[in-house]
Structure 1
Amino acid sequence: MSPQIPVFDGHNDVLSKLLHQRDGAEHRFLTGAPGMQIDLPRAQAAGFAGGLCAIWVSTEDTTLDANGDLPPVPQASALEQTIAQAALLQRIVRRSDGAVALCRSAAEIRAAMAEGRFAAVFHIEGIEAATRDLDLLHVLHAAGLRTLGPVWSRPNQFAHGVPFVMNHGPDFGPGLSDAGRDLVRLCNELRIMIDLSHMNEAGFWDIAKLSDAPLVASHSNAFAICPHSRNATDRQLDAIRDTGGLIGLNFGVRFLHPEGIRDPDMGMEVMVRHIDYLVERVGIDHVALGSDFDGTFMSRQMQDVSGVQLLLEALRQAGYDEAELTKIAHGNWIATLERSWGG
């Protein structure tokens, strides 16, 4: 295999998965965590240089309502889980002896990668923890929050997410609420990147009209290949391209397979096909990786972070040169974050 290209990834759920296993989560991440797809030793071995580390909150109530939506998470529970995961990230950084860096700028990401440190960016996937006044956002920004998805695949007071449905576009539910519009404005003011993965159709276009930042879908695929509600339509891809934004390839099988099935033997050629389509539609400068490690079902070939170099090799064999692979592997993410955050 060719020399490793460092990978900076657009989405992982390592924090929520670690927290819901048992105590000592930071130690397990730093020394090796069986049952996880990411830990520091495997990331270092695989050239997995960092990425957006998501906070995601869970609920025991999974009863669908009449519209097929999951119920909202109670704010008190969401706040407790959000603080716990943010604290876990801080402990990982503090106890890593410099091996993990919490990055607040593109320059800090570049520096961490150059020094061989894991470059972690604090991200939230669904801001159920915030109240209408958005005071929490200022506190989390001070703690390092730099990217935010207003919703996961359930509604909250700000917007509606898409349920997980095959052979259906993202047109579910209404657009942003007044609180959601205030959230977008504050994210623009604080230079917090807004992530459109999990956003429904109406919300996507509301944000496109309101936001002054590049449009980003951190972990979504091509709806034209896999018609799943979580994937980006051609019209959405065009908007991402036209704003100088980015789409990150999700490694989850059900968002890749043309029939949406959980096929553990799905080959890398399906991932290459999505990358080819995205590059043709939006251009090589606007396509990256958004693995969703520790958050979704993946094929046996992509069983953990070690698979990222296999994907890059498959792209190499498909005709991508080293400059193009470097853009997909990390260059495009860093450039897009720099445009979103400012110098």
Structure 2
Amino acid sequence: MSITEFAHYSLFPGLFVAFTYNKKQPPAFGAALSFFCILIPFLGLSFCHIPNNLSNYNVLTANAPFFYQISGTWSNHEGSILSWCWIPSFYGFLLSYRAKSHNVSKEQRISGALGIALFFSPFLSASSDPFVRNVFVCTEPLAESNPVSQDPISAIHPPFIYAGDVANTTTSFTAGANTVVSDQDQEPIHIWILTCRLFLTVGISPGSWWAHHELGRGGWWFRDPVENASFMPRVLATACIHSVILPRLHSFTSLLNILTLPCCVLGTSSIRSGLLAPVHSSATDDTRGIFLWRFFLFITGISMILFYQMKQQASVHITHKKEMVVARSTLVHLLHSAPAPLWYGIISPANHSIKEKHLVLKRHQ
């Protein structure tokens, strides 16, 4: 059995064992097994890209200079979905060593992080398998990579965006594991939301610099829908940082935590489904898009149900200075309203394109 085949077959056992292990055992057992079993496929794909193994279709379509060949491990569609499997399992692995065996809240957070990986693994196998072999297949080099994207900064910033997006899973499932964000949950939420904002900032800043020196002074980076999709979770994370320290805003903190994860999935679904066309190319496929949109609707529905249940059961009444609460509440609501115009700017080109096609069809009828 070759390294590629071994990496391919090792993707699934750890994920299923992680959700079937005996709950009397410590959470580290399932989380560690899941993490290492997904790490093997990620390393296997890297070992395919480094020696330029053209028998792998993913490597062939990302044929580029050596540095960008390595970045193809995470920058193309299959590599990005594999990253969506590996990064949540890594976060679950980190959480498992901070969790007590009897702590239900932390166990649910670990299961939630691994649940994201568990969902993306069948999607990876069904429509985005990175280990497909070439059998008399001829394709254009750089079929999925735009030459404009062949820039060191553009090559290294996607992993930070993925890490920031997936960090939201821990805060979302912390809010979902409790009827209200308690004082004990403030510290882990604060840590993970800061982690999310840090990774997104580190990923967004190089993208701005790339647009400046690649597209010139007239090229404004935030016109790209991919980067706008990553900027919306950062705005929500900023609002959550301000609201998590205020007891009167605990319910609003829960709402922010729950909405941030669908916001991340919304960006992924929009880009990978072909609804939005970014400046730097991404793989687009209708069949892939349908699967991702269903996942987005599923996550959004669960998020709304969780928040409704928390709103019904929450009963926290702690007094604070009225002026501070009003000032912070105004700031938080202002930051919270920012993603709405951002999302409108993202979908406007797609909406305009749909209207144009509709007018063309009317003229031909």
Compute the TM-score of the two structures, normalised by the length of structure 2: 0.27
More helix by share: 2
Higher RCO, 1 vs 2 (CA within 8 Å, ≥6 residues apart): 1
Greater gyration radius = 2
